[in-house]
Structure 1
Amino acid sequence: MSHATPLPVSPLPVSIVARGPLRGDVTLPGDKSISHRALMFASLAVGRSRIEGLLEGEDVLATAAAMRAMGATIERDSDGVWQVDGVGVGGLLQPVQALDMGNSGTSTRLLMGLVASHPITATFIGDASLSSRPMGRVIEPLTQMGADITASPGGRLPLMLRGLTPAVPVEYTLPVASAQVKSAVLLAGLNTPGITRVIEPVPTRDHSERMLAGFGAELTVEEGPDGRIISIRGEAELQPQDIQVPGDPSSAAFWLVAGSIVPGSHITIRNACMNPTRTGLLQVLRMMGADITDTSARTVGGEPVADLVVRHAPLTAIEVPADIAPSMIDEYPILFVAAACATGRTVARGAHELRVKESDRIATMAAALTAIGVSVTEHDDGLSIDGSGGARLPGGAQVASKLDHRIAMSMAVAGLVARAPICIDDANPVATSYPAFFETLDALVRATD
């Protein structure tokens, strides 16, 4: 299989030192999951959609580039509003070159679903981190629908997908809790005659269902004996929309923990998405004793939103309920940092999915925390962490981010409560989801200088 190889980027080491309390307001970047979907669905609508608050990180820009390559017109106005002229369901064009997904697993898996039911062939490539992540969980249902997929060994990128039209509608039960797999099957079903159904035994984030219904897809969600049943009628005609993207709760997570563990901190986080499938970390931090209040509850773009106020408070170790995992799967790395500062031993398990994220987040965080002097026990599905009881962490080590943005940001937060600097070997991946992270951190510290 011929493909282009993405150019390597020189590492960007960053050293973080404790600098006092964090105070001020945080304006969150747009939610990454919703931003991806807004671009994709607008590209499949007939007419012009308008998107405000889009996350302009590298992952979302990879989605925009891929949709342009398949025929959509996507432009950013000078005021930061994005205009998308869609090609209609069934109207995707053959891309001339390989689709470079960078570090974005969401882009890759959802776009595989879109291509699967269109009469085009697309080659997906990505960076070293993405190319190490298995795609078999998406390949399986899309193959059942008729797509012809040739992947690299282990079901990895580079990968070539030949879509089939008409594709075959399926009823697919998710073997693992994955919103990406669910969404990929639903998106393939958009251009498939008849009804495509996904059964999820464990509920996952429901942004695809909410937004597809908003664009006019005929979609139903009901409870069945084996879990939630999401059904979508194919050969849909999506209508253009004006979309407001709320703030990303996964980005808010870093400030929720930083505000909780750095003495004297008082942070207000504006416009955070409060979708109940995304608030697991908030629940867990409150169980640990965090002082977090939500105010100004409202609805933005069909999603519940609020402002969150976090103040420093002593945290107490807990056993994290395993059934919360799907609603906080991206937040486990920063939860591990909170646990490192709590009193007692925190046990956080039930998160097998962490093994196949941008890095093996269980092993990577275990290694990073151990390097800075935290006592950690690694399990196949999580970590047990002995907390410092609120005392500063030892620090004084270099840690490996493994090309994972959430590892880099989590260890940056750990550096705020370390006795000696923590050096992160490469902060470049932070740009995939939160380009202004370090700038925001500096502003929160400066507010108390």
Structure 2
Amino acid sequence: MKRLYVHPKNAYLMWEDESPFFYLADTAWELFHKLSREEAEQYLTVRAGQGFTAVQAVALAEFDGLSGPNYYGRVPLHQKDGRYDPLLPDTEGGNSYWDHVDYIVKAAARLGLFIALLPTWGDKYNLKWGKGPEIFNAENAYQYGKWIGTRYCEEWNIIWMLGGDRPLENELHHQIIDAMAQGIREADPNHLITFHPSGESSSVQHVPDRQYIDFHGIQSGHGTNGLENWRMLRRTMQTEAKPCLDLEPRYEDHPICFKPEYGMWNCDDVRQNAYWALMEGVCGHTYGNHCVWSMNTQPTDYYRYCWTEVLHHPGAEQMRHVKALRLSRPYFEFRPAPELIADDHAVMAHQCAARGESYAFAYSPLGQPMRMYLQFLCTTAVKASWFDPRTGEEQFFAVVPPRETLFAPPTSGKGRDWVLVLDVLETS
């Protein structure tokens, strides 16, 4: 079975042959709950073709995921004494709820996609908001974790994602997550585990110093604080030396600050979060479209489109370029390089840089000039190119000496972001 590992330097993920794995996920929380098998195959085929490497989906879904049936009229759990019981999964017959989950997991595997599988949405243990109901305690969380871990331990394309957008606010919440993780890990010692936190927080705040956490995640969220996802990522990686990424940044077509009257986040906003994160040395990134994660079929002011209409929206198509840029140079030596750039800009204009041994990237989210200190990169000349995040095209424009240099991107303004690519030239 193919396996993922954490790289020995603790920053990135890799395959067992030590080749790099860049976690580029799409968000499809309601995938198992709402789509037919044919629709799921359609969705997965598109995302695989766009270069995604993973899909995030929930077994016990948020939108009435216990009592609301899936496409085939089945619910995930049977009831006992009038309550949905995590120890009574619907597995009877050839078209059970969990048979449907099995089918989609295997369909994703055929396309080379991981399923980042949340065993449950967070409202099933902390009904801070949502439908719920709360059904977990420490004992049944352990048993459910062991059951679902056993069911999928032989599927190569599983990454476990605990949490589910609710905070851990008391000892019981922590006991539930720890117990579920224990059950999963006992049944499945080979797949990686992470944690999806609530909005504008990090998994390191909720599950610090947990041996079962292989890589951390933040949710920078859908408000204006999401403009500083790079700060949250930096703090998380400074707190614990584990890989990290933004598991829920601003979604394309999502109401700004959850208010449709403010407008919608678009592909320009999505790209900013992705490249800001990249320059912090993350192990990947997550994209989301508001109408896809929900698998919406009835457009409203809050969900503007049907999910099938937005599969090819610009943000989704442009995410492949993030992965391509990151994989284009030596991978595991990459690290943040604030020493290479003068960043004195306001939040939305935050400029940042990262480097390897003989190359560097620098990001200007609004196409504003970047003052670079090339003398800290090398002592020889540097080949400079512009990388267009909208098209993935890289265009050489100059050879420059290793000194302080001001680089002006080809265009500027909102939606005119650019990556400066610097390759050190060997001496002749």
| Structure 1 length-normalised TM | 0.31
* TM-score normalised by structure 2 residue count: 0.32
Identify, as 1 or 2, the structure richer in strand. 1
